[in-house]
Amino acid sequence: MELRQLGRSGVRVSRLALGTMTWGRDTDEHEAAEQLRFFLDAGGNFIDTAAVYGNGDAERVLGGFLGVMVPRDEIVIATKAGISFKNGERIVDNSRTSLIADLDRSLSHLRSEYVDLWQIHTWDQKTPLEEVLSALDYAVTTGRARHVGISNFAAWQLARSVTLQNPIFGKAPIISTQNEYSLLNRRIEGEILPASRELGVGVLSWSPLGRGVLTGKYRSGLPSDSRGASPHFSSFIEPYLDERSRKIVEAVMVASDGLGLSPLEVSLAWVR
């Protein structure tokens, strides 16, 4: 698998990352190990997780594989902080104290002294941005994170964050932004992609398969083993089961038939 430089950093990551959102919930350790082995054998080195995935279980599962299935220094681990759930309620807390506590828990779950890329999971309306960014500096200066990034920020939030984190002033530079991008969701084309190019920030596209819908698996209903049928993730899939999405999926199917490729290959090739 081809490696690419992430933003203006020296980090080289595989063009595809292995996502772990379902690990510890709908994906057990055995299935996760199979996914990781297949990914590594294909030449992948970039694994994405988050403190909130499975309430930490995704990181725990991944941590159990480090040093057993793959040496720690042969992979790039990205995790995220700032989101949690309490009594079913989604909580966003990007205060410095909360973010650093999330990071320390992540390191414990991962059984690692550092993460390669630590990201703020989403924007927090309540916490001053300067306080949020101070946690990024702390993570890098203490060796807990080698690089830092952001996730799910709007373009103006991205631009302000990158500007404040100018390395000229001794700040830890933001090397990447992670946003949803696929044939079913092209919102970032308006401002985030142009801003990222101008600012030299790498773009990580989450859910390039349209939350799995672009594979065509939902054309005839909800497969029992799919996220669409999962009590944990059905609400995540539902927005892309509408008529607009159906038409796009059918167009992908036509293209894949004509090209002799799978819908998955066509959808990923479009994003890349």
Say yes or no: 16 and 76 in one domain.
Answer: yes
Say yes or no: 18 and 78 in one domain.
Answer: yes
Please answer whether residues 264 and 215 qualify as being in contact, where contact means their C-beta atoms are separated by less than 8 angstroms: yes
pLDDT of residue 146: 98
The domain tally of the chain equals 2
Say yes or no: 67 and 178 in one domain.
Answer: yes
Q: What pTM was estimated for this model as a whole?
A: 0.94
- What is the spatial distance between Cα 122 and Cα 124, in angstroms, rounded to a whole number? 7
Q: Is 181 a catalytic residue?
A: no
3-state helix, strand, coil in the chain (%, to 5): 45, 20, 35
More confident residue, 223 or 152: 152
> Tens of pLDDT along 50-99?
999 999 999 999 999 999 999 999 999 999 999 999 888 999 999 999 99
Quote the domain boundaries for residue 245: 211-272
Q: Which of 53, 181, 218, 240 is catalytic?
A: 53
pLDDT of residue 149: 99
Provide the CATH number for the domain around residue 40. 3.20.20.100
Residue 235 binned pLDDT confidence (cut-offs 50, 70, 90):
confident
Question: Where is the domain boundary, 161, 184, 206?
Answer: 206
> Tens of pLDDT along 85-142?
988 899 999 999 999 999 999 999 999 999 999 999 999 999 999 999 999 999 999 9
Say yes or no: 108 and 215 in one domain.
Answer: no
pLDDT of residue 265: 97
Say yes or no: 13 and 104 in one domain.
Answer: yes
Say yes or no: 265 and 133 in one domain.
Answer: no
Distance of CA 261 to the CA centre of its chain: 26
Say yes or no: 26 and 105 in one domain.
Answer: yes
- 172 sits in the region (left: phi over 0; alpha: psi -120 to 50; else beta) called beta
175: nearest Cα among 210, 206, 151: 151
Say yes or no: 102 and 219 in one domain.
Answer: no
Say yes or no: 125 and 241 in one domain.
Answer: no
Question: Where is the domain boundary, 185, 206, 227?
Answer: 206
Question: Where is the domain boundary, 161, 179, 206?
Answer: 206
Q: If residue 76 lies in a helix (H) or strand (E), which one and from where to where? A: strand 76-81
On the question of pLDDT at 234 being above 90, the answer is no
pLDDT of residue 104: 99
> Tens of pLDDT along 173-198?
999 999 999 999 999 999 999 999 99
Residue 20 binned pLDDT confidence (cut-offs 50, 70, 90):
very high
Say yes or no: 126 and 32 in one domain.
Answer: yes
On the question of pLDDT at 220 being above 80, the answer is no
Say yes or no: 165 and 93 in one domain.
Answer: yes
Say yes or no: 156 and 217 in one domain.
Answer: no
